[in-house]
Amino acid sequence: MRNRQRWIFAAGLLACGWLAAQVSAPSLAEAQNEAKDKPKQNSTEETDIRYAQAYVKLMEAELAKLNFSNRAVPGTIRPAVLEAAQVALREAQDRVRLAKKSDDIPDHEIYVDSAKAELNYAQESLRKAEAANLQVSGTVSDVEMARLKAQLEVAKVRVDVAGNLKGASPLIQAQFELEQLREQVQQLRIMVSLLRDRN
């Protein structure tokens, strides 16, 4: 009788062990899959960061080349082209920040930082134009001064709009980015039209 009870007890233990192994097997497989996917995810993130950094270096080199050409022969590169290159560099730097962004940094802060950079650039552009006009009246035309002032106003409002994205849904953030792209495309169309008219 005791032997029979021992066999039943041993069989019960064996069955419990088998059941526990079956229950834990999927979670073990899931853990192994997650462990396999994590290096891929980290690798992708690292590649995105490296690409964004490499693109910043390219934009820095492009801007340096344009500035070098302008120093060698003043006026070779139009201010609008230099401005476009500077904007491209700032956007490339924003891409690096976005690629490096950890989950504890809210998305809206990146938009606000980018908008503040645009505001600083607009303020500096207007300041330089005003300084040039103080030295030699009419160096920067009234029309260009009006454009720089309008650019500054847009930059100020953009900071407010970016600040309002705090807690916004991904859809609202995507709409904000889409509007930014539309503005840039419109500016590019104007620049391309000007270049076509000159040729």
Which tens digits make up the pLDDT trace of 36-52? Answer: 555 555 678 888 889 88
Predicted local confidence at residue 70, as pLDDT: 85
Cα–Cα distance measured from residue 165 to residue 152, given in angstroms and rounded to the nearest whole number: 21
Q: Is the dihedral of CA 187, 192, 194, 195 positive or negative?
A: positive
Residue 25 pLDDT: 47
Decide if pLDDT at 76 tops 90.
Answer: no
> For residue 14, what are its two tokens?
């064996």
Is there a contact between 114 and 90 (Cβ–Cβ < 8 Å)? yes
| pLDDT surpassing 70 at residue 71 | yes
Burial of residue 145 (number of CB atoms within 10 Å: 0-12, 13-18, 19+): middle
User: According to the model, what pLDDT value does residue 90 have?
Assistant: 83
Provide the token pair at 70: 């302008």
pTM (2 d.p.): 0.58
Res 152: pLDDT: 94
Q: Is 39 left (phi over 0), alpha (psi -120 to 50) or beta?
A: alpha
Confidence of residue 13 (pLDDT cuts 50, 70, 90): very low
Cα 30 from Cα 24, distance rounded (Å): 10
Residue 121 to residue 147: CA distance in whole angstroms: 14
Match 């000159």 to its residue by tokens.
198
Q: How far is CA 157 from CA 42, 82, 113, 143, 153, in A?
A: 37, 24, 13, 21, 6
| Mean pLDDT (the chain, rounded) | 78
For the stretch 142-197, pLDDT in tens is 999 999 999 999 999 999 999 998 888 888 888 988 898 888 888 888 878 877 77
The pLDDT tens digits of the residues spanning 77-114 come to: 877 778 778 878 888 887 887 778 765 556 677 788 88
Give the pLDDT score at 54. Answer: 92
What pLDDT does 155 receive?
Answer: 93
| Residue predicted with more confidence, 127 or 27 | 127
What is the domain partition of the chain in residue ranges?
Answer: 46-198
